[in-house]
Amino acid sequence: MSTPYAPPDDPIDVLHEDMHLLVVNKPAGLLSVPGKGPELADCLLSRLEAAFPTVLLVHRLDRDTSGVMVFALTAHAQRHLGLQFEKRSVKKNYLARVAGRLTPKTGTVDLPLCVDWSNRPLQKVDHENGRAAVTDWRVMKAGDDESRVMLMPQTGRSHQLRVHMLALDHPILGDPLYMPDRAAAYPRMMLHAQELRLRHPEGGEGLKFRSPAPF
């Protein structure tokens, strides 16, 4: 169902580094953390450990999603940042290209999600057993064949943006899991984490990190 793992070997783009934080631009096709099995050992975390031995995971992006990721460089920073994600005080926005003309110009998807056990790792909408998942959207540009959309998740469920767009009948283009029959027509999944806003774990200063979408 998914494509073979062939991660890019380009150097990792570091957006910010200080004594507490490391912010990078994750390339599409690279796992955030190791998968199961030696063939899935290469990941963003292991690559960063080579240059930043104290680096600690805070959150994840899907393998096929690119964009801004923050890592901690101390245990205190990891706890502080983890709490910000848990309390949903971290603001994230993504840029996606989705199939078809998405209307209206703005809206919200409020559909609970859970794992689709018979088709793991896929997720699905489940009103009885799913966990709350909410995504705001804003159409940036729309055509008959596709729309360019800003997605602003209020929650951080696995595959949330992918499943929410699929539920609207506007799947993310190039998605190898949820749009496998048409994914080969695109060089990658068209989803990019373009902005992350959070508070610095030392002093609480508001920070904004941004990486323009490469598509």
Cβ-based neighbours of 42, under 8 Å, separated by 6 or more: 7, 30, 31, 34
Residue 62 falls in the annotated catalytic set: yes
* Active-site annotation holder among 9, 62, 126, 136: 62
Q: What is the DSSP letter of 183?
A: G
Answer yes or no: are the C-beta atoms of 137 and 151 closer than 8 Å: yes
What CA–CA distance (Å, rounded) separates 120 from 98? 23
What CA–CA distance (Å, rounded) separates 110 from 167? 10
Q: Pairing between strand 146-153 and 191-199?
A: unpaired
192 DSSP β-pair partners: 66, 95
Tell me the chain's radius of gyration from C-alpha atoms: 17
Q: Which amino acid is at 207?
A: L
- Positions annotated as catalytic residues are 62
